[in-house]
Amino acid sequence: MMMDENNANETDEAIGNPAEDAVGEAVEDAAVEDAAGETVAANPQPIPVPVPVDPPAEAANGSDPEEQAKRQIPGYQILEKLGAGAMAVVFKARQISLDRIVAIKVLPKKLSADKEYVERFYAEGQAAAKLNNPNIVAAIDVSEAHGYHYFVMEYVEGTIVDDEIKAGRVYTESEALGIIIQITRALEHAHSQGLIHRDVKPKNIMITNDGVAKLMDMGLARLATDADAIQAEAGKLYGTPYYISPEQILGKADVDFRCDIYSLGGTLYHMVTGQVPFEGEDAKAVMIKHVKQKLVPADRVNLDISFGLVKVINKMMAKRPDNRYASTRELLEELESIDFLLEVENPSSSAPLPDLSGHAERPATKRTKAKSATAPVASAAAAQPATAVVSQQPAQASSTNATLVVCLIVSVLLNLGLIVLLLLKG
């Protein structure tokens, strides 16, 4: 379904008024793989890496490259193939020295002779190695052996957000916030180390079996202050069409952490609406819309989304970087505020309402056990005259109603406070 530009009400203006041909030229200059979410990139910054090597004789003789890779990576026992893409094959393996399971990304032979791809491959490993955060897939090693360039990383079992969306899942606001808040923490850590990811998208977010969100794939990451890289990349395009920021599309040299905020906003939009922010017939059409077309508010696609979250998404995806959040920390605090309000308004069944009557609250598990332990007492009370039992119920009901009324008032006041805060910031 194509987005209708006339239905949008975003107040942020498009960047300047670039001619469609100028944007199209920037897109045409990039190596666009496809418009379905694959990374767009061109000529990443040069870094010192091993010189590409020729394939071993076995591969030249027609042997299976994957089988060759399994035998050529020292110190690791390859267990199974996890997946393959245009740029790498990923294996599940056991690191023999530490007896632990890891994931190994191996660069295909056809790309090992391409200096550009080899540089990107090592850049990913080096960028990931600078980071130590529970919400970022950890890097272990990046090296080359017998003509195979490989990157060893933390092995994570779980699901990828992109796969869930493609299967038809639309995340509730609470579910999406639980994931996006974790990824914002990951980005805050990366940004504090001077790194920008530049390719935040559902395909690069994995949810472990324990519910931990992890940011993956640092293939386009670079230091925000790398002057040589900034100069080399001027006028070039990096990112993924559906989530790329306008300044990346236009090849701006001063791209910073705010491009990650934009892409994270596009990811959040997709999660809670089931639709990408902008659609088009091809990558070029999609990216032109990122630059020129206003965003259709998320609550026009999904009526269950709160006003607060709509405001946050709109600010994250402002066309001009200066109109976005001034820091990743500021964004994180606002997301956490909305999450808190949701919890107050819709407390989970496992978390009892707070006791505002002045009595100390007991954990839910203890209340359950206490109910079981007092069951015989309840039976004995049932044997007493009915008037004795009934006389206690009005007082209990009155206390419960008073607590619920107080909670409702607190919730309304918090909502009003958030709305006023968002309006002042907007």
Nearest to 23 by CA among 315, 270, 278: 278
Nearest to 290 by CA among 359, 342, 224, 241: 241
Helical residues (DSSP H) of 18-82, grouped into ranges = 20-28, 57-60, 65-72
Q: Which secondary structure element, helix H or strand E, spans residue 282, and what is its range?
A: none
Catalytic residue among 199, 217, 260, 339: 199
For the chain, helix (H) and strand (E) counts, in that order, are 18, 12
Contact 160, 206 (CB under 8 A): yes
Active site residue 199: yes
Calculate ∠ Cα 338-341-344, nearest 5°. 155
- Residues with active-site annotation: 199
